[in-house]
Structure 1
């Protein structure tokens, strides 16, 4: 078999494996994650750690991790060696888009499995108020200019990761007759958000959920 064929088969196998991973940072092989549209990177298999081996902070590129989060990352990797912060950030960007679009469209079902109960209730209350007023949102996420992990914290087995997003959003509010009452689709607005995603390490659910939102 030629080297070219071997490389081709390896690339096909890597692509198939790629589609099996969940959107945020977890690689397991036996869990059944919810379907996500994000393309993700597959890292090298994790070698067993000895008890005296320090937790590894992987090379994540210049923009994936802010310096203040490095200590939290070491603690998280020590607790969950399969965590990959670069993969997490890519998944967080996909989740950011999906959650915003679900909220704008009033898609309660999608919000149900992307956010935790407190955030979901807040979003749904806003959707209910909007619908009661007969208003609709015609918003578009133009681009995510930056997404970086600003904080990582462990509370027992619960991990919380805060991601700062700088994005351009075109926002329009329409009344019940479809008339524009606020915003413009031709003039994007810069937004700066800090979203916190949470997950219980070692649980059967590999997915991270949005647990807090803030503007920065």
Structure 2
């Protein structure tokens, strides 16, 4: 009986680890690699740097006012990516994108450049780093609380040569408080929760052995 219990517990543990891996954006194969890299260590509206991006990757024309057209573009793009990378799964990708979104927003607020380095392309990292440095020079700190991510939807996807590009629209509830270092601020009440919409584009070289996606563009809806 004890031997049976040990086997049952082992099977249960294996199932839990499998599900956890998928939620974190692991590929469905046995490589154990993640689609989004995890860092090694664990009344203000604040815009992330890089919005809007003027030197963004060329975007296909789409009638953004018509949801059906946008969804059709995204579906066609996903199919295009899957032709080059059959392991690509939209739900796994979005789970990883949500986690990456929260990590990037939190790391930017904390000025955690090491975490950002693992999640951003070089150009976006430089933009974020400049914004952090300017904030530090002003003697300001940013406190960000992500109350929750309401939605995360793929709005565009495509292949650009060997580079897969997936654009995700995030709608989240966020509390941002900017403080001046050494200044005790009045506390008239709790800071307001703001609804924030971000449109982020993630990229990955499908021929690379690295399965991780990187944030290549951020902007706000026009």
State TM-score, norm by structure 1: 0.76
Q: Report the alpha carbon displacement of residue 79 of structure 1 after superposing the two structures with TM.
A: 1.1
Match of 2:102 among 97, 103, 121: 97
Q: Report the alpha carbon displacement of residue 89 of structure 1 after superposing the two structures with TM.
A: 0.6
Residue 14 and residue 178 in structure 1: after superposition, are their counterparts in 2 closer, same or farther (change >3 A)?
Answer: farther
CA distance in 2, matches of 1:198, 1:25: 16
Alignment of 1:134-149 (within 5 A): 134-149=139-154
Partner of 2:210: 205
CA distance in 2, matches of 1:78, 1:26: 16
Gaps of 5+ in 2: 41-69
Residue 169 and residue 20 in structure 1: after superposition, are their counterparts in 2 closer, same or farther (change >3 A)?
Answer: closer
Partner of 2:91: 86
Partner of 1:30: 31
CA distance in 2, matches of 1:77, 1:7: 36
Matched residue SS, 2:192: strand
Residue 149 and residue 103 in structure 1: after superposition, are their counterparts in 2 closer, same or farther (change >3 A)?
Answer: same
CA distance in 2, matches of 1:178, 1:139: 18
Partner of 1:13: 14
Gaps of 5+ in 1: 38-64
Matched residue SS, 2:164: strand
Q: Are the aligned partners of 2:202 and 2:217 in contact in 1 as well (CA < 8 Å)?
A: yes
More helix by share: 2
CA distance in 2, matches of 1:98, 1:178: 28
